[in-house]
Amino acid sequence: MKKYTKSHEWVEVIEGNKAKIGISDHAQEELGDVVFVELPEIGSELKKGEAFSTVESVKAAEDIYAPVSGKVTAVNEELNDHPELINEDAEGKGWICEVELSDLSELDDLMTEEEYKKFIEG
């Protein structure tokens, strides 16, 4: 199940304490054509609420904030050659990195899909 932040990132636990992180479909739509994603380094530590990546479109550069804390175990290398994956499938093939969550309870503060939908409409 995906959880969302107010700054438009999503996080989804895939198994145990492993989770994938990306930006929401709404965020990619706002950004427009994504041309570059600055990926974090594998092994680096993310801290909830801190910027760890940048997603660039033609006319904007947006910082991406960690929805949860944890250690980066994998990054989506595909994005280096195909940043457009974020436009095509932001919440699937356009994932940014995979982390080992250090504190599962951090997920509790995040919005569910339904809550997020309301949030962006509101």
Helix (H, G, I), strand (E, B) or coil at 83: coil
All residues at 6 or more sequence positions from 99 whose CB lies less than 8 Å from its CB, including other chains: 18, 19, 21, 46, 68, 70, 71, 72, 73
Least Å distance, CB 83 to other proteins, is 6
Site map 10..49 versus other proteins, x via CB under 8 A:
----------------------xxxxx-------------
Site string for other proteins, 43-82 (x = CB under 8 A): -------------xxxxxx---------------------
Is 83 a binding residue for other proteins by CB under 8 A? The answer is yes
**Binding of residue 89 to other proteins (CB under 8 A):** no
